[in-house]
Amino acid sequence: MPFFRLATLALAATLAAGSALAFDPAAMTEAERTAFGAEIRRYLLEHPEVLVEAINVLDARQAALAAATDAQLVAAYAEALFNDGNSWAGGNLEGDVTVVEFMDYRCGYCRQAHPEVEELVKSDGNIRFIVKEFPILGPESDQASRFAIAIRQIGGDAVYKQAHDLLITLRGSVNVEALTRIAQDLGQDPAAVLARMSDPSVTAIIEANHALAQQMQISGTPSFVIGNEMLRGYLALDGMRRIVAGTRG
């Protein structure tokens, strides 16, 4: 076997073992180093599948590391995620899997996910579902979340869920006229709800959700916590069902 082919294999073995053996690339002369680099290049061009294999291994390791990190984050912030006392919870409150969604009413992917999340919770029957108001897309997002929180404080959980569904499917702008109409449709006093939107307690809930999202390394919507796993972004219903099944083991 030619020297440089042997050297290539020796280097690969050294890197795989994670320790320095007899072969020391730093000890090569400039000419040897140039020839050695050329041999590696030739080998990789002849065997590009090695690069694909290496990338796949790296991706798998990074995915495993990310999953482990996410599980640690969920465990560290479990109380704020699952029992903060300020977030609406529905579905089966005694369910064996909890799904938490960080959402924004003006987010297109949140709107796309809404009926699928509803179907997931309804068809499964054993999921506890929690909504985290997480407005990040501007003033209308903020106003929608403030309205939802305010109407829950005044009208309770059932009214909140109705308002949530109306806001996530609202066509047009989030403005005083639209929010007044929603409050009236839900049998609430629009003036009281609109006034409550600027209450410090409403602001505190939104700020707490933003702080929690930062701690959980969440920057976009929708983002989900499913059991001890995290899903950053939209996933179709079948994919979410697979994650729920995997959480149950």
Amino acid (one-letter) located at 187:
G
- pLDDT by residue (tens digit) across 25-66? 678 888 888 887 888 888 778 877 877 777 777 666 766 666
Mean pLDDT across 97-121: 98
Instruction: State yes or no: pLDDT of 176 exceeds 90.
Output: yes
- pLDDT by residue (tens digit) across 191-200? 999 999 999 9
Q: Left if phi > 0, otherwise alpha if psi is -120 to 50, otherwise beta: which for 91?
A: left
- Amino acid 22: pLDDT: 57
To the nearest whole number, what is the mean pLDDT of the chain?
88
Distance in angstroms (rounded) separating the CA atoms of residues 223 and 101? 6
pTM beyond 0.85:
no
Lowest mean pLDDT among 1-10, 88-97, 132-141: 1-10
**Per DSSP, what are the bridge partners of residue 98?**
128
CB within 8 Å of 103: residues ≥ 6 apart:
110, 113, 131, 132, 133, 134, 168, 221, 222
| Correct CATH for 87-248 of 3.40.30.10, 3.90.1170.20, 3.20.130.10, 3.40.50.700 | 3.40.30.10
- Amino acid 18: pLDDT: 47
Tell me where in the chain the CATH 3.40.30.10 domain(s) lie: 87-248
Q: Where residue 24 falls among pLDDT bands split at 50, 70, 90?
A: confident
As a whole-number percent, the residues of the chain with pLDDT over 90 amount to 70
- Amino acid 131: pLDDT: 98
Distance in angstroms (rounded) separating the CA atoms of residues 249 and 95? 15
- Amino acid 20: pLDDT: 45
